Structure 1
Amino acid sequence: MELDTMLEQAAAQCAKRGAQLTPLRRQVLRLVLEAEQPVGAYALLDQLKAQRAGAAPPTVYRALDFLLEQGLIHKLERLNAFTPCIEAGHDHGAHSHPHQFLICRRCGTTTELTDHEAAHALEAAAARAGFRVERMTVELEGLCAACAKP
């Protein structure tokens, strides 16, 4: 899908929820979408400063918080970085779909999965322990298919 189309869908999704994808938020989302791998907040800030001289860490963090809240991006805790949500255009709400991430420790490639069976298995295991899951992000680290080849 074309980048401008993705940004328009994101803006429409926000508007549907009564939120606004401001020019700054759109710019930060564009940078995350354009990144080939998950990108950290300070890398985003460096890119943003080239276009907005007054950009500061709070500027980026507020935009990222908004994008997370709207379900347009994910934060990968292991990498302390952000990646687009593959389900963002489907308007499930803010990440109400299950998601798992495969993170290659060699090349850094990250793949988002939406495996409902895995999510249900984890929820069932948590329930057996008396725990009610409210939000779930699973990050698996290993080698991607390309890096695993001998």
Structure 2
Amino acid sequence: MEKAFSQHNHHHCQASAVEQARSLCEKEGVRFTKLREQVFELIWQSHKPITAYQLLDQIKDSDFSATPPTVYRTLDFLLEQGLIHRINSLNAFIGCCHPGDRHTGTFIICEECEQAEEVNNRDIRNVIKSVSDAHHFEMKSYVTEIYGICPQCQSTASEHTSEGNHA
């Protein structure tokens, strides 16, 4: 899967994620039903985290009739399979860039365009583990969310700033 903050063919990115999800579900012996696949595709339609109710609205526009419990059960399945992550502060979901590799997420989230990117950084994991160990705390999982401005939005902001200086 491609990085959110880089130029890439997102259609290929999404198709690759769906194919990996199908393959992992088959390997694990679990069903990747049409509804599960549709929810997964909707999550991967962009690199912006999406809420359960946004998913529900989009599903209602399709052939499926889904209720909030159905969407939440589907999201629980995708989380259990390691195919998506939950962005806690946004109460939203995003596709996992490393499915099949059980891990907790670190995300950088742009405050301007709202895109998010999963970051796999050993240093962050080591610091969190070190802090947990120092406090004799048995860590089960963690999610790290880092907010800021992505390169594209920084570039756009600097273009607007430089245009303003020439007036």
Greater Rg over alpha carbons, structure: 2
Which residue type is aligned with residue 39 of structure 1?
I
Partner of 2:7: none
Q: Percent identity?
A: 38
Query: Offset of 1:33 from its aligned partner?
Result: 0.9
**Aligned positions of 1:1-150 closer than 5 A:** 2=12, 3-52=14-63, 54-88=65-99, 91-92=100-101, 96-149=102-155, 150=158
Letter in 2 for 1:25: R
Distance 1:114 1:5 in 2: 19
Q: How many residues align?
A: 145
Q: Which runs of 5+ in 1 are unaligned?
A: none
Check the 8 A contact 2:84/2:93 in 1, yes or no.
Answer: yes
Deviates more, 1:114-123 or 1:44-53: 44-53
With a CA cutoff of 8 Å and minimum separation of 6, indicate the structure with the bigger relative contact order: 2
Shift of 1:47: 0.7
Q: Deviations over 1:52-107 (max 9, x none)?
A: 3521111111111100110101110111111110112xx22xxx234310112222
SS of match in other structure, 1:140:
strand
Q: What is the CA–CA distance in structure 2 between the aligned matches of 1:4 and 1:118, rounded to whole Å?
A: 30
The alpha carbon displacement at 1:114 in A equals: 0.3
Q: Is the 8 A contact 1:98 1:114 kept in 2?
A: no
Q: Which runs of 5+ in 2 are unaligned?
A: 2-11, 159-167
